[in-house]
Amino acid sequence: MALVVLIVAIAIVVIGYKFYAAAIDRNIVQANPKKATPAVMYNDGVDFMPASGSVLFGYQFKSIAALGPIVGPIVAVQWGWLPAFLWLMLGVFFIGWVQDYAAAMMAMRNEGLTMGGLAYKFISPRARGILLTFLYFYLLLIMGAFGAVVAGLLANPVVPIGLLILTLAGVLAGQMTYRWKMDLVMTTIITVLIALVGIWLGTTGPAQNIVKAINGLAGTGDKHILYQTPYGPMTWPVFFWGIVALAFCYLGSVLAIWRFAQPVNYVSFWFVALGLIGSVLGVAIAAIFGTTDVAFHIPAFVTWNQPKLGWLWPMLFVTISCGAISGWHSLVSTAGTARQLEKETDALPVGAGAMFTEAILATLAVIFAATAIAKPDGSVIYDANNMYFLKVKAGAVWMYGMSRFLSWIPGISPAMGGAIGAIFLAVMALTVMQLVLRFMRVASAELVGDKIPAFKNPHVGTIVAILFTFLILWTAFWQRIWVLFGGANQLFAGLALLLITIWLANEGKKYAWAFWPAVFMYITTVAALLVVAWKSFQAMTKPDIGAAFAFGNAVAGLIGLFLAITAIVLAYDGLKSLSKARQKAAAQAGD
């Protein structure tokens, strides 16, 4: 079954890209390779800088694909593997690539404006203020939640040394490409080999001993616990490696895009791509030899109402975001990729191509979850009676799946496969976090830069964002509001699709292919946010909940209501702008 699902996913991705996406690009948007892009017109070597389409594909994929396409599908299979798989395929085919590709084209044809600037231009000044406020909070949620996950992953002795060498290889790639003007193929071969050797070195005994020594600086046993938070203990390794992760992100935020963020993500892409290809081959080999590794242990359909998660609609559609459709991608496409695209015709392979590729990554996550039943040590991953994952988190399910399937490839042991899986997760999260911090300082500069000029300084905006992240990370408060991340993410996707619709209408182009996905995302997201708010307020009435958890649920409920109201206000303003655009187009057609 695993191989069948994988083949179907690849076929849908190829058809979607080759026929549907290509037709939209050719017949409606009409990308023009001769039209000057913002990267060429405003080349400042910092945020605007033309880059090869090949480099940008790697940058785009590693910038959009974080933990979302891994964690979301693994959690969602608790409704059954078939609903999760169907949403991934239908979402990416009709909605996901539309947002990523069209957002990049919209920004390119509007002077490289960010989402805030586009909202101001196409909707209203009020929309810009609401969007930027929401955006900053949304990005802060990502930093806090991903930071906690990354800190835990970096505490794994096999991860830090390899990740450090991979980062240095990325910095070298930027120097070789943009300063030494070396051939891209040769640069890629050299830096990727350095990264892979570094990852291998990280799994050796001496390298692991270095990390273990750092993890033990605060002592062993209970001394690892620095202090108690309302949501659990804060350990020394999480505390320390959280600082290291944010230092990495600081460099990605303040340095020129070509010097750190872009080349590090590009080199990381090759490691991730090799991991994906190896996993696909492992699934195929295991299926050919007819092993139980490829048998699905989770039913195709489990229930309409999962006790831990809620109703299939709307909660499935915010549980799985990346892999099907994710608002984060619109930020990458506008504030990042659109400012680096050298030619308009690169937008399709970069924007749409990377999104379709991410859907394959998410499909592997579904397969890893559906085929997981027990680890070799006997600990349970999935309980068929209670229908939820036990004792291990989604990251552990991914590492276990990657370990099992990579070990089918000659020369890769289960231990090595597990190490690759752990580094894979760390790379996926950390290389996106650096861009999250970069976009936070851009958003703060747009929002308050005129009133507080200091925020126009990249260091000031970055440091303030890091301090807020520390607050969420070190108090563990993110655990109470993480449930809202999916809703906030998909709300942003709905807004991006609405902006794309208005832009297309203003240009006199067909827009139904963006409008109806926007309607679906808006209705689904608002419904999900209201459900989360209701459950949060309901949880406050439970006896003996404790003051901290009562406060956390109150905050979560209020945030859910705020985001739902924000969505309605933005939709109202957006639909008015769309009506004006339609009237303008009709008048021009009449003339």
Give 506-530 pLDDT, tens digit per residue.
999 999 999 999 999 999 989 988 8
CA distance linking residue 296 with residue 230, whole number of Å = 38
The single-letter DSSP state of residue 411 is T
**Residue 544 is encoded by which pair of tokens?**
């003996």
Q: Band of the pLDDT at 92, cuts 50, 70, 90?
A: very high
412 — pLDDT class (breaks 50, 70, 90): confident
Distance CA 351, CA 104 (A): 7
Give the tokens for residue 327: 């608002």
Which tokens hold the place of 423?
């580094």
DSSP three-state, residue 239: helix
Residue 46's pLDDT is what?
73
Q: What's the alpha-carbon Rg for the chain, to the nearest Å?
A: 23
CB 287 within 8 A of CB 3: yes
pLDDT at 556 over 80: no
Between 141 and 94, whose confidence is greater?
94
pLDDT 10s digits, 261-276? 889 989 999 999 999 9
pLDDT at 479: 54
pLDDT of residue 144: 76
Q: Could you tell me the residue ranges of all domains in the chain? A: 2-590
Res 385 pLDDT > 60: no
Strands (E) in 541-587, as ranges, are none
For tokens 């680890």, name the residue.
375
309 or 228, greater pLDDT = 309
Architecture of the domain delimited by 2-590: Up-down Bundle (1.20)
Residue 320: exposure state from Cβ atoms within 10 A (0-12, 13-18, ≥19) = buried
Residue 516: its pLDDT value, please?
96
Strand residue runs (E) in 166-258: 225-229, 232-235
Assess whether pLDDT exceeds 90 at residue 321.
no
The per-residue pLDDT for 436 is: 87
Q: Which of 429, 270, 345 minimizes the C-alpha distance to 104?
A: 345
User: Whose structure tokens read 């509001």?
Assistant: 481
pLDDT of the residue at 482: 57
Q: Classify the C-alpha dihedral 104-106-110-116 as positive or negative.
A: negative
**Cis ω for the linkage preceding 69 (within 30 of 0):** no
**Average confidence (pLDDT) over 135-164:** 83
- Helix (H) / strand (E) element for 311: namely strand 310-311
Helices (H) and strands (E) in the chain, counts: 25, 6
pLDDT-based confidence at residue 391 (cuts at 50, 70, 90): very low
Residue 542's Cβ-count burial label (10 Å; 0-12, 13-18, 19+) is exposed
Which amino acid, 284?
A: A
Residue 146 pLDDT class (50, 70, 90 cuts): confident
Average pLDDT, the chain: 86
The more confident residue out of 365 and 219 is 365
**pLDDT score for 477:** 58
By mean pLDDT, which of 128-132, 314-318, 545-549, 555-559 is the weakest? Answer: 545-549
Instruction: Report, as an integer, the average pLDDT of 161-190.
Output: 93
Compute the distance between CA of residue 386 and CA of residue 487 in angstroms, rounded to an integer.
26
User: What is the pLDDT at residue 99?
Assistant: 96
What pLDDT, on the 0 to 100 scale, is given for residue 547? Answer: 67
The Cα 222–Cα 383 span in angstroms is 31
Per-residue pLDDT reduced to its tens digit, 351-376: 999 999 999 999 999 999 888 765 55
Report yes or no: 280 and 357 within 8 Å, Cβ to Cβ: no
Q: What tokens does 231 get? A: 């949501």
What pTM value is reported for the model?
0.88
Please state, in angstroms and rounded to a whole number, the distance separating the CA atoms of residues 589 and 379.
67
Upper half-sphere CA count for residue 16 (Cβ side, 13 Å): 28
- The pLDDT > 90 percentage for the chain reads 42
380 — pLDDT class (breaks 50, 70, 90):
low
pLDDT mean over 198-219: 89
Q: Is 228 helix (H, G, I), strand (E, B) or coil?
A: strand
Least confident of 143-152, 410-419, 505-514: 143-152
Name the amino acid, one letter, at 204: T
pLDDT, tens only, 450-459 = 888 999 999 9
User: Average pLDDT of 70-82?
Assistant: 90
Residues paired with residue 383 on neighbouring β-strands, in sequence order: 388
What pLDDT score was predicted for residue 390? 46
Rounded CA-CA distance 93/148 in Å is 32
Nearest to 354 by CA among 287, 297, 273: 273
Average pLDDT over residues 311-336: 90
The neighbour count for residue 570, using CB atoms within 10 Å, is: 24
* Average pLDDT score over residue span 203-213: 91
Phi and psi at 156, nearest 5°, equal -70, 120
**pLDDT band (50, 70, 90) for residue 379:** low
Q: Please tell me which residue, 306 or 86, carries the higher pLDDT value.
A: 86
Q: Which residue has the higher pLDDT, 458 or 220?
A: 458
- What distance in Å separates the CA atoms of residue 532 and residue 254, rounded to the nearest whole number? 36
pLDDT, mean of residues 412-418:
84
**Structural tokens at position 299:** 């039913």
3-state secondary structure at position 342: coil
Between the CA of residue 372 and those of 77, 296, 297, what are the distances in Å? 11, 8, 7
Strands (DSSP E) found in 141-280: 225-229, 232-235
Separation of alpha carbons 25 and 22, rounded Å: 5
